[in-house]
Amino acid sequence: MPVFITYASYSQEGVKGMLKKPADRTAPVKQLLKKVGGKLLAFYMTTGDNDVVVISEAPDGTDAVAIGMAVAASGAVSKIETVRAWTAKDFVAVTKKAAKLTGAYTPPGN
């Protein structure tokens, strides 16, 4: 199953909710992933540009994007970004495809 990494930042409302009722948010994230047939691999609270990093498996990219949209719609986050992740070994297949396409794209102005 594809692996996804999601970065999120809590909105002001999300922070207020956390302070009103402090709790480990792992279970709600795990449940949301389960609804699409996915699996939570890791859930971290972080400092810096993002407040949360989630590493998960989901059947495909549409599931991962749908989860992000559902969370964003709740108003709890102000920013959310999900990217696909590959192991270095699996990414070799991607680079082989790219190598075959090299030179096939005509850039604008040419």
Q: Is 87 among the domain residues? A: yes
Neighbour tally for 47: CB within 10 Å: 6
Q: What angle do CA 6, 11, 12 make, to 5 degrees?
A: 155
**82: in domain:** yes
pTM of the predicted model as reported, rounded to 2 decimal places: 0.88
Considering the domain boundaries, does residue 60 fall inside one?
A: yes
Residue 106 lies in a domain: no
Asked if 82 and 6 count as a contact pair (C-beta separation under 8 A), the reply is: yes
- 59 within 8 A of 37, measured Cβ to Cβ: yes
Report residue 52 as tokens.
């949360």
Contact criterion met (CB below 8 Å) for 77 and 14: yes
Phi, psi angles (nearest 5°) of residue 38: -100, -175
Q: What is the pLDDT of residue 88?
A: 97
In-domain check, residue 110:
no
What does the pLDDT read at residue 79?
94
Q: Answer yes or no: is 109 within a domain.
A: no
Please give the pLDDT value at position 33.
97
CA 25 to chain centre: 16
Domain-embedded: residue 18: yes
pLDDT at 104: 87
The pair of structure tokens assigned to 83 is: 């990217």
Residue 28: inside a domain:
yes
CATH code of the domain containing 91: 3.30.70.920
**Could you read off the pLDDT tens digit of each residue along the chain, which spans 110 residues?**
999 999 999 999 999 999 999 999 999 999 999 999 999 999 999 999 999 999 999 999 999 999 999 999 999 999 999 999 999 999 999 999 999 999 888 889 98
Q: What's the whole-number average pLDDT of the chain?
A: 95
Q: Count up the domains in the chain and report the number.
A: 1
Domain that holds residue 35: 3-101
